Homo-oligomer: A and B are copies of this chain.
């Protein structure tokens, strides 16, 4: 078994280092190989996703990813910007199924912007399609408008699209995930405006017939954004497209107050996967040793469970994290009066000790 380790930029290197220490203490039988990605790779090799990094990722059973990006790359041409590495990995590895749990940890209820009673016990799973939609649709670019309000004017455009098998496979993923949870799927679309999402709704409805034990409902994306704010606990599994999923999963993660704690997994059809924290590279706190490594450590646990078939080791990490939280240790992002503030490394130490 081989893990490609791509720490990336900003706090990426600090948090991935802790996840690796945790993996090492489990004494499992796998190889890890590290490579540059994002801004770090651009600086060393002139590209955010160098050939060698992509090759390593493709050959590995799983990718453990930190985070990429920094304001200093904002002025680069799009193809050289750090985020392109993420998009390139998703596309080249065919990672179409993104799992983003939005969980409110019992001890962190107070850290949510929402009132405690609205988030205590919150446990939603957002299943976001990750290789289709307007992210990759062709054609796209600039041209002279031929219709619209200002024919003859300069315009930019993109293509949103989903094919039937793309929708079917992500729907199956969502229904199967729901079976292991509260057996409810909410499919989020904008069928009242978009052809793509009328089709999405139709296909998800058809796939749903194969899962009579799972309740399916449909919600417009604007309404879903409202319901997430109003009563997030009403959701179980949300399944949606790449663009809507980008927006809703970030909103949901932030709602929990636990964003520094939330892992994510992006899988392809052969369960090869990329695992990364739900938060970003946080260049403002990079190098200070204060970032929260728990989302990355929990991403490593997801990796063991989903791609490496090491359920027991995954369980051990997850209970170690719970134990550490229960003991009152907190990095500064989740610190509150009465708890003990620790550094990135101290948090890693604590998880290692708990294992």
A157-B145 in contact (CB<8A) = no
B251-A226 in contact (CB<8A) = yes
Report Cα–Cα, A83/B191, bound state, in Å: 11
Task: Mark out the residues of chain A between 218 and 234 whose CB falls within 8 Å of any chain B CB in the assembled complex.
Answer: 221-223, 225-226, 228-231
Name the distance in Å between A269's Cβ and chain B's nearest Cβ: 10
Q: Is A52 an interface residue (CB 8 A)?
A: no
Closest B residue, CB atoms, query A116:
B115
Cβ 8 A contact of A195, one of B140, B255, B259:
B140
Residues of the B chain whose Cβ atoms lie less than 8 Å from the Cβ of A243? 190
Name the distance in Å between A135's Cβ and chain B's nearest Cβ: 6
Residues of the B chain whose Cβ atoms lie less than 8 Å from the Cβ of A155? 161-164, 199
A136-B162 in contact (CB<8A) = no
Mask: chain A, 107-136; 1 = CB below 8 Å from B; 0 = not = 000000111001000000000000110111
A132-B149 in contact (CB<8A) = yes
Report Cα–Cα, A228/B114, bound state, in Å: 12
Contacts A226-B250, A226-B253 given: A159-B157 contact, CB under 8 Å? yes
Cβ 8 A contact of A149, one of B131, B145, B250:
B131
Q: Is A56 an interface residue (CB 8 A)?
A: no
Cβ 8 A contact of A166, one of B149, B250, B259:
B149
Residues of the B chain whose Cβ atoms lie less than 8 Å from the Cβ of A194? 134, 140, 158
Q: Is A141 an interface residue (CB 8 A)?
A: yes
B113-A229 in contact (CB<8A) = yes
Residues of the B chain whose Cβ atoms lie less than 8 Å from the Cβ of A156? 161-162, 195-200
Task: Mark out the residues of chain A between 234 and 258 whose CB falls within 8 Å of any chain B CB in the assembled complex.
Answer: 243-244, 246-248, 250-251, 253-255
B193-A222 in contact (CB<8A) = no
Q: Is A288 an interface residue (CB 8 A)?
A: no
Q: Is A72 an interface residue (CB 8 A)?
A: no
Task: Mark out the residues of chain A between 70 and 111 whose CB falls within 8 Å of any chain B CB in the assembled complex.
Answer: 78, 81, 83, 87, 94, 96
Residues of the B chain whose Cβ atoms lie less than 8 Å from the Cβ of A131? 149
Residues of the B chain whose Cβ atoms lie less than 8 Å from the Cβ of A134? 134, 160, 193-194
Closest B residue, CB atoms, query A131:
B149
Known: A156-B197, A226-B253, A230-B254. 9 other contacts (CB 8 A): A83-B192, A113-B114, A114-B114, A134-B160, A145-B163, A150-B165, A156-B200, A229-B255, A247-B247
In the A-B complex, the 9 residue pairs with the smallest Cβ-Cβ separation, listed nearest first, are A156-B199, A155-B163, A157-B161, A225-B251, A153-B163, A226-B254, A222-B250, A158-B160, A150-B165
Subset of 22 A-B contacts with CB under 8 Å: A81-B192, A87-B193, A94-B149, A134-B134, A134-B160, A135-B193, A140-B194, A141-B195, A153-B164, A155-B161, A155-B162, A156-B200, A157-B160, A157-B161, A157-B195, A221-B246, A221-B247, A225-B247, A226-B250, A226-B251, A229-B251, A230-B254
